[in-house]
Structure 1
Amino acid sequence: MKQPEMKQEEYIDLDLVNRKMNKRLMLNKAVKYLFLVSTFIGLVVLAILLYRVAMDSAGWIDWQFLTDRLSSNPEIAGIRGAITGTLWLMLIVGPVTMILGISTAIYLEEYAKRGRLHSFIQTNIANLAGVPSIVFGILGLTVFVRMFGFGASVIAGALTMSLLVLPIVVVSAQEAIRSVPGFLREASYGMGATKWQTIKNVVLPASIPGIATGVILALSRAIGETAPLVVLGIPALLIPVPSGPMDNFTALPMQIYYWTIDAVLVHEYANLAAATIVVLLLVLFILNSLAILIRAKFQKRY
């Protein structure tokens, strides 16, 4: 009886395998050090900028600087008007952005049917998030300043800033709503709740951390934007402190911008600009810390 033929054994070239593995390990190590060097360079540049700002602002930040009005004399100039204008700006940007952004996210995630219209809206929202801020300034100049006749007022600047940061709030709210587990909705429907009751009592409370974080980060961007305000013609002159949404105003970024330009002629304005930068950085640090605290406090695990 003829014996079955044995299959020829396949041999693995261990040297070739080792060479490929060593090459991949070397590549991985090279990329790792490249990223490390890139991070280090960014941190060094940031440290230099912070050091320069801190040195230039030393001795200029005091209670008088925070509470005095603008002045042509650098020794007595303050940023009371800029702080008040920034607060008025955020008082309008916050509610407008939250109402429009969260409502849009709820519609797109809970009510809109998946199709061409939904894809078209999603694509445009994503594209708006990458549009340069100066384009929103041109839009605000055309619509709010000229068409509606608001001029260089708080309401014109606030509505322009709301359009600028609205895509951020919409996208973050969508992600937060999308992350709510499906069994929570099913449990609510099983108890006899309607769709809106489910959204109001189950979905929105569970998505608070993501939504709140997105809103605060959007406000952080709005509070530091300068280009749209420059296009709107927001002044940084000796204007009265704003007391309402229809008053002319200035903001911290605009004050930094103009004082930086004036520093070419008067060196003390560079110190005033650096001191204002420190104040703005502290406000941004507080807002970002608040976003972290809100996420940590309301974060729930399902």
Structure 2
Amino acid sequence: MKFLRYGAPGAEKPAIVDADGKIRDLSAHVTDLSGVALAPDALAKLGAIDLNSLPLVEGSPRLGPCVAGTGKFICIGLNYSDHAAETGATVPPEPIIFMKASSAIVGPNDDVTIPRGSEKTDWEVELAVVIGKTAKYVSEADALDYVAGYCVTNDVSERAFQTERSGQWTKGKSCDTFGPMGPWLVTKDEVPDPQNLGMWLTVNGEKMQDGSSKTMVYGVSFLVSYLSQFMSLHPGDVISTGTPPGVGMGLKPPRYLKPGDVVELGIEGLGTQKQTFQADI
């Protein structure tokens, strides 16, 4: 099943994609795609509704972030062996964890704002895991029981803020609009192997990233279990699991985004995103 949220920012409505790829409104059955509504059994009940009985959403509405109520936006750094190599970094002995502010979250096709003073805004296509029920001290074997599904994220990053301004990475990752999410929350039954998904990203039509989650160092089950040893994971929390090679920082010479650039990205079975980058004026 593919769930989504559509409408104006802050007023999105829940919806589902039917067999013909059309959007069907779920407002009569659920308030939003957040909290207990994200539990795997709750999503299954929504998916069992006769979709032809649901109101058809006409036209091409704006798509919002595919989940609401995200309390924690957790990111994993250097989690692809080939990406670590392109940046000259060593694969860490344990996952690198950092937070991205939830205020960075926007819809998959919303404009992204390059922050004031930025000279090194970069792109990162990533597989995101959406938590469906509270996980604390869970085993790796049971970890996927706590997952609602998966979606695409662009972990937009300002590299100077991230690595040259001292302190932690968070301030280079959390600028407003730096977390496009969606288009869909794809339930885990449609993603039998999250460690075998093609991933790609283009800048102005030029292919920059063309990788696979096969090269992920720490897989989804491990990450959910690992993180749950340090903090409770709650419904709507998002884990962005790292990026394959091809980021601007890793090019020779490095290349970064400027106003007017168009970034498109996608993951096999999870849909695509498209963002135009603009200056913060």
User: Which band: TM-score by shorter chain?
Assistant: under 0.3
Higher strand share: 2
The two structures have a TM-score, normalised by structure 2, of 0.25
Larger Rg: 1
Higher helix share: 1
